[in-house]
């Protein structure tokens, strides 16, 4: 299941982190509310696939 245009994030927070190497890292937290009709397993699969394409780490938490 792909997110649609109307599946907007409820909130998001971004920031820059400093690490010992001096290379800045970007961090983003997003809270998304999706309809109950969306398959959680399908959504997780799609988001992890996108994360792999973008070469980013992704942590999903159900709240």
Domain that holds residue 13: 9-54
- How far CA 26 is from CA of 16, 35, 60, 61, in Å, comes to 5, 29, 17, 19
**Does residue 28 lie in a domain region?**
yes
**Domains held by the chain: number:** 1
Tokens for 15?
A: 């920031």
| pLDDT of 49 over the 90 cut | yes
Please report the pLDDT score of residue 31 as a whole number.
84
48 in a structural domain: yes
Alpha carbon distance 6, 19 (integer Å): 36
**CA-to-CA distance for 37 and 28, rounded, in angstroms?**
26
**Residue 36 token pair:** 């109950």
Residue 60 lies in a domain: no
Q: Say what the pTM is.
A: 0.60
Is 40 contained in some domain? yes
Mean pLDDT of the chain, nearest integer: 78
Q: What percent of the chain has pLDDT over 70?
A: 62
Better-predicted residue by pLDDT, 17 or 50: 50
Say if 32 falls within a structural domain: yes
């Amino acid at each position: 299941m792909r997110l649609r245009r109307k599946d907007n994030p409820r909130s998001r927070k971004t920031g820059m982190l400093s690490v010992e190497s001096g290379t800045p890292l970007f961090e983003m937290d997003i809270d998304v509310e999706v309809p109950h009709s969306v398959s959680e397993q399908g959504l997780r699969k799609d988001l992890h696939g996108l994360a792999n394409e973008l070469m980013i780490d992704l942590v999903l938490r159900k709240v």
